[in-house]
Amino acid sequence: MQALADASQVTQLISEMGAWVDSKRQANPQHTFALVGIRSRGDVVAHRVAEQLDITQVGVLDITLYRDDLSEIASQPTVRTTEIDFSLDGLDVVLIDDVLMSGRSIRAALSSLMDMGRPRRVWLAVLVDRGTDVRELPIAADYVGLTHAGDEHVRVLVMPTDEKDAILLGEDAR
C-alpha cells in the first residue's frame, strides 16, 4: 500500500485549500461564504478548513437520495443526515469533497444543494482529482489539492474520523 500523501502533506493540502477559500473570500468581501462538505470525508475536510478560517456556516451533505446508481450498487445504500442549518439563498458556497472521479457525486450534490435553496455561486474544492480520463460528466473542480490519474484506488483518511491523515493508493486502500 503506497502513500500518495503522508500526514504532514495532508495537513498542508487542507491548509492550502483554506488559503484558496480565503483568497476567494478576500476577493468578494461583500459576499457571505459557507462551506458544505460531502459525506463522508468531504465533511471532515470542510470542518477543518472552516476551523482554519473561522467560518461558522459549515454544512454536511448526504447525497445518497440523489445518487443515480441506486439500482446498480451491490450493497444497500445508507441514508444519513444532511446537516445544513442555515439558508443557502444568496450565499457563496464552497462545496468540498475528498476525491473527484466520475463527477457523479458532485452532480448529485449540486442537485441536492439546488433543492435546498438558491446559492449565489457554488465553487468546488477537492483534495484529489483523478483526472479527466475517468470523468463521466462535464464537471471540473475550481480548486484541486493534487492530481493522480493512475488506475489505483485512492483513499483519503482524515482525522478525527480516521485515526490518521493520509492519502493511500492501491487495492489495499479499499
Partner 1 sequence: MSDYAWPHRHLLGIEELSAEDIRFVLQTARGLEDVSTRSVKKVPALRGKVVANLFFEDSTRTSSSFQLAAQRLSADVLDFKGKGSSVSKGETLVDTAKTIEAMGVDVMVCRHHHSGAAHKLAANVGAHVVNAGDGQHEHPTQALLDLYTIAKRLDRLDTFDFTGLTVAIVGDIAHSRVARSNVLGLQKLGAKVILVGPTTLLPGAFRDLGCELSNDLDNVLPRVDVVNMLRVQFERIASQAFPSTREYAVLYGLTPERLARCKPEVVVMHPGPMNRGLEIDGEVADGPNSAILQQVTHGLAVRMAVLFLVSTTHQN
> How is residue 2 written as a grid cell?
503506497
Rounded distance between C-alpha atoms, residue 50 and residue 133, angstroms: 31
Give 13's contacts (C-beta < 8 A, 6+ positions apart): 5, 127, 145, 146
Give the per-residue contact string, 25-64, with partner 1 (x = CB under 8 A; - = no): -------------------------------------x-x
**Would you say 24 or 80 has its CB closer to partner 1?**
80
Cβ atoms of 58 and 35 within 8 Å: the answer is yes
Q: How far is the CB of 67 from partner 1 (least distance, A)?
A: 8
82 touches partner 1 by CB under 8 A: yes
- Which contiguous run of DSSP H or E holds residue 14? helix 7-27
Q: How far is the CB of 82 from partner 1 (least distance, A)?
A: 6
117 touches partner 1 by CB under 8 A: yes
**Would you say 56 or 71 has its CB closer to partner 1?**
71
Rounded distance between C-alpha atoms, residue 91 and residue 120, angstroms: 5
Count of chain residues binding partner 1 (CB under 8 A): 21
Q: What angle do helix axes 7-27 and 42-53 make, rounded to 10 degrees?
A: 60
**Would you say 27 or 79 has its CB closer to partner 1?**
79
Interaction site with partner 1 (CB under 8 A) = 62, 64-66, 70-71, 74-82, 111-112, 114-117
